[in-house]
Structure 1
Amino acid sequence: MSSKRIEWLDIAKGIGIFLVVYAHARAPYNSYIYNFHMPLFFLISGILYKSGRDLKSYIFRKIQTLYIPFVSWNLIFIIGKSILRHQEISVDYIIEVILTLQKDGEFLGATWFLGALFLITVIYKLLDYYISDMPSKRWILLGVFAAWGIIGFEITLPYMLSRTFILGFFYAIGNFGKEFFLDLKLNKTTIVYMVIAAGTFFVIGHYNSANMGANEYKYRILFVIGALAASYVTLCFSKIVGAMGRKYIFSLFRKGICLMGKKSVDIVIWQFVAFRIVIAIQLCLNGISLTKLLDYYPMYSERNGWWIAYTLAGIVIPIVWGIFLRGGIWGKVLRKIHVVN
């Protein structure tokens, strides 16, 4: 794989991040989304894994793109809030953030994704690097991460590490099936499989429930099957969107989703911060003091269509804010220290 971006995978990430915000906004049928949206992201990350990159440069790159943004923004918020509230800063909590085990729970709750992805990618790379090259190597890696996934399902570990173990399994599946996913062709057979997978997921989504944070699943095996089916449908649909004609409306739709995919890290970091703006508007409209702003997480109310405002704010504001952070002199400094990339 070259370093050039793959547009249809950016589209897939764009669809994925839209569904993440949509689910967090408690939009209609969000329970279906919780059955696959995070496995989708880790599967895509597995597809994009490059085994040829040397260990040092690979880990250094992950530190720059995942670890530093996660730790930096969480520490800024945690320390800043402690100073404003005249509260003592917990050294243990700071250490846990540095270890990617904790995060700010009032504004940056979704950033756990960056910490989990950092741990998984580094562990996968280390195993890939130190296991001797052999025909069964990817089978071995898949088996190791499958075993960790089973442990994650069976044991609820502290710091929500069970979720990380399970998502690592989907990452390994993504890399294991890299050639299959990258070579997806838009033909009648693919469309038939896509329809079957979509039907399978909606049946499973109707009867199953999943809460990865609490490590609670009504049917674990159905969660895995449903997540893989929905991920396959999303990847196929992304290929369709990528192949759309060049007419203005199609081009605008494709570019918009692709932009969300490219800015998915910004949306992960800032979506709940953006939610606070909508919460403030709702509090003002309901005559509630803004001093209560921190009493609501992640939102005040999604009723009467407010989930639409939360979804739009959670996508648009982070993208605009990310552009601002990268602009001007401050942008050069933030990019230099990799707080933004």
Structure 2
Amino acid sequence: MGDNQHRRIDFVDLTKGVCIILVVMAHIGGAFDQLDKHSMLSCFRMPLYFFISGIFFKPYEGLYGFIIRKTNKLIIPFIFFYVSTFLLKYIVWKIAPGTFHLPVSWRELLFVFHGHDLIKFNPPIWFLLALFNCNILFYLIHYLRDKHLSLMFAATLLIGCTGFFLGKFHIELPLYIDVAMTALPFYVAGFWVRRYNFFLFPSHRFDKIIPSFVLLALVVMYFTATTPGMRTNNYPGNIFQVYIAAFAGIFMIMLICKKIKRISIVSYLGRYSIITLSIHGPIIHFARPVVSHYIHNDWAEASALLLLTLTICILFTPILLKIIPQLVAQKDLLKVK
């Protein structure tokens, strides 16, 4: 298993790319909403992101070193994109006050501390905080795996169930901690698959029946899928529906991407998905009025907006990597001593 833990797995970048494209499509909405029949896309979209993150878990030098590294990877990009996109919105409002329906207030910077309120100037960025908390939660229980693996899984299920029912009872924890709790089983599943399973091996005899697994996953999702609201920790279905449908979708996409292995542009988006995640919200906000002004067919408008948004993200990615790699999770800003 050791070699499997350290080998770069190309199809995981492809999976991340597919995931971020699905996220962008969801935020564009419109005609794309029609693709989400029976919630068969929304049921696994964000759980897949947590799952992939679990694949890359490493304990590093201890809790302090782990927190510093995850701060570099998640909190610093969150702060940078959170503040910069607010300032962009504020400057645009000052220059052209009619751009937004309501005045832009500095109090909007406090939205992140207001339960799970929508971060209006950059809605998708909540995920970085939730993922940071999910990392910390798993770090606190992962030591059980060496001698008490079953206990680690029990703790994971307990935390996940607690987070789920906090949502059912409308009890919010600050900074998306409750969301991280609900998402922990997905994260741990990614960790487990990387270390204890043949699933990520480049080739395996079971690969020949991938189409059968995909068909089975589609059937499972058809009968169990609901639309989870992970940002708000709100889940309309019961706990079994939510997790079963999500895992079916996760493994379906992973298996399809394993079969394909790589699509250059999509894999590139996946490798640097944190940038696309953090900038596509403002891009959509400003690009939508322009696109809708010239295109009046729903499908053409949604497709053009998707293409424009992803193109801008792809063009901006190397610029950000070159100029400010420490702020976009590519180099460490805080050093581990």
Q: How many residues matched?
A: 307
Equivalent runs, 1:302-313 vs 2, <5 Å: 303-313=298-308
Equivalent runs, 1:164-175 vs 2, <5 Å: 164-175=180-191
Aligned to 1:33: 41
Are the aligned partners of 1:100 and 1:115 in contact in 2 as well (CA < 8 Å)? Answer: no
**TM-score under structure 1 length normalisation:** 0.76
Aligned to 2:147: 134
Equivalent runs, 1:245-324 vs 2, <5 Å: 254-285=263-294, 303-324=298-319
CA distance in 1, matches of 2:184, 2:145: 21
Judging changes above 3 Å, is the alpha-carbon distance between structure 1 residues 149 and 285 closer, same or farther for their aligned structure 2 residues?
same
CA distance in 2, matches of 1:47, 1:239: 14
Are the aligned partners of 1:35 and 1:209 in contact in 2 as well (CA < 8 Å)? Answer: yes
1:313 Cα offset (Å):
2.5
Are the aligned partners of 1:103 and 1:111 in contact in 2 as well (CA < 8 Å)? Answer: no
| Identity of matched residues, % | 20
CA distance in 2, matches of 1:139, 1:206: 26
User: Is residue 123 of structure 1 aligned with residue 131 of structure 2?
Assistant: no
Are the aligned partners of 1:42 and 1:170 in contact in 2 as well (CA < 8 Å)? Answer: yes
Are the aligned partners of 1:108 and 1:273 in contact in 2 as well (CA < 8 Å)? Answer: yes
Aligned to 1:335: 325
Are the aligned partners of 2:198 and 2:204 in contact in 1 as well (CA < 8 Å)? Answer: no
Provide the secondary structure at the position in 1 that maps to 2:161.
helix
Aligned to 1:248: none
1:262 Cα offset (Å):
0.6
CA distance in 2, matches of 1:9, 1:203: 23
CA distance in 1, matches of 2:115, 2:61: 27
**TM-score under structure 2 length normalisation:** 0.77
Equivalent runs, 1:188-207 vs 2, <5 Å: 189-192=206-209, 194-202=211-219, 204-205=221-222
Judging changes above 3 Å, is the alpha-carbon distance between structure 1 residues 307 and 263 closer, same or farther for their aligned structure 2 residues?
same
CA distance in 1, matches of 2:317, 2:200: 33
Give the alignment partner of residue 320 of structure 2, picking from 317, 325, 336.
325
Equivalent runs, 1:14-163 vs 2, <5 Å: 14-26=17-29, 27=32, 28-30=34-36, 31-51=39-59, 53-79=61-87, 81-82=89-90, 84-85=93-94, 88-90=105-107, 94=109, 97=112, 105-128=119-142, 133-136=146-149, 138-158=152-172, 162-163=178-179
List per-residue Cα deviations over 1:295-334 (Å, max 9, x = no partner): xxxxxx881421212222332211211222233xxx1xx3
List per-residue Cα deviations over 1:225-248 (Å, max 9, x = no partner): 121112112222222122xxxxxx
Are the aligned partners of 2:214 and 2:252 in contact in 1 as well (CA < 8 Å)? Answer: yes
Judging changes above 3 Å, is the alpha-carbon distance between structure 1 residues 319 and 206 closer, same or farther for their aligned structure 2 residues?
farther
Matched to 2:303, the amino acid is: I
CA distance in 1, matches of 2:241, 2:118: 32
1:124 Cα offset (Å):
1.5
Question: RMSD of aligned C-alpha atoms?
Answer: 3.2
CA distance in 1, matches of 2:117, 2:87: 12
Judging changes above 3 Å, is the alpha-carbon distance between structure 1 residues 151 and 103 closer, same or farther for their aligned structure 2 residues?
closer
Where structure 2 has 5 or more consecutive residues not aligned to the other structure, the ranges are: 95-102, 331-337
Provide the secondary structure at the position in 2 that maps to 1:171.
helix
Where structure 1 has 5 or more consecutive residues not aligned to the other structure, the ranges are: 243-252, 287-300
